[in-house]
Structure 1
Amino acid sequence: MSIVTVSWRSIRAEIARELHRHGLYASFCPRTGHCRDLGADGACDRGVAGDFLTPSQVAASRAVMGLDTQLIADGTYLLVHAGDGRLAGCGGWSRRATLYGGDHSTSLRDAALLDPSHDAARIRAMYTDPDFVRRGVARLVLSVCEAAARDAGFARAEMMATLAGEPLYRACGYQPIEHIETPGEVPVPMIRMGKALI
């Protein structure tokens, strides 16, 4: 039997049933060291490219993507595991100003707390292992993150989406706000997207 050990009060029984149906379980990353291997070189990174980026863009994306241990410290990073313990996907939300970027992308980081009365919560570091795509993993992580942000008083959520993630986020109600390219020798196209949570 799969076990759901999620502490966010917003998790619903139907999410637990859906996880169990797919042989999955969810837990929060308990400490930084436990999750350090989930960064840009971790198993979930393999899902970034798909048919959307060139190999050089995938390599360049590692300069701005990866694990943000602030999410773990804040207790807002979710891991979804298969019944055999393999990491199926991960992602989080944040009440901090950083929109995207891992620990190593210092120029993108801003730990200032957002004001739920007028700022949008951030959806962050969403990855699904290719072996688990189209099984509801990313949609599950996203719905849990949205519910937790809503419970924290946020009326909107924003993210910086990859081209590979855009179709899922559109299907989940996110709309494009702006298109950008990351700085550097090989620009990586990304899309800032947002959604009303209430």
Structure 2
Amino acid sequence: MCGPELSDVAFTFGESFDTSQVQILGINRGEDLNTIQEFIETFGITYPVLLDTDGSVWVTYKVQGISPFPLDCIIDQNGIIRYLHSEYDPQVMLDVLDDILSTTPTPPPDDDEGTIPNHINLALYPNPTNSASVVQFNVVIPGEVVLTLYDATGKQVERTVLGPFSEQGNFQYRLDLQNRASGVYIVTVENGTFRESRKLVLIQ
């Protein structure tokens, strides 16, 4: 995506969606900070632009080798790539975002409705986030739940034991990320023999 198109992103998508629904960011790989800053000022870019110094974001989302040109990428609230293309097509991107927002998963029903959870059903929101994310999960087996946070290299950076929970059901935990560096993280939740992981993008 070239400079004028990058400027259009903030206008087109900022006018169409609230920041609580869609967050915009640019990720640069391979250029120095001064060049990036000059580019931002020249084209009046108002959203965050991250410098992927070690290529970890590039590798984590497996977009390397697809194209030598800048890529437009839409990632949903579960860290899954829903759109990836080297040609800027705002109408198609708007359609993809509308589809994502209209198919937001419904939280699992409460136990008092007679439904017993049989999987963790891990969800993170907001994602991407700039400070914290709510971790939503099912307790399948009464007892402790272990939440582990890994950085993009696979290094464990946080481990929290929640509970013990006396019953099955759907629960939430607020994961504070204010002291973490921007980048891609993996959130893993374990409950007995059950385990699920999701990607989480942090934009400081």
Q: TM-score, normalised by structure 1?
A: 0.29
The structure richer in strand per residue is 2
Q: TM-score, normalised by structure 2?
A: 0.28
Larger Rg belongs to = 2
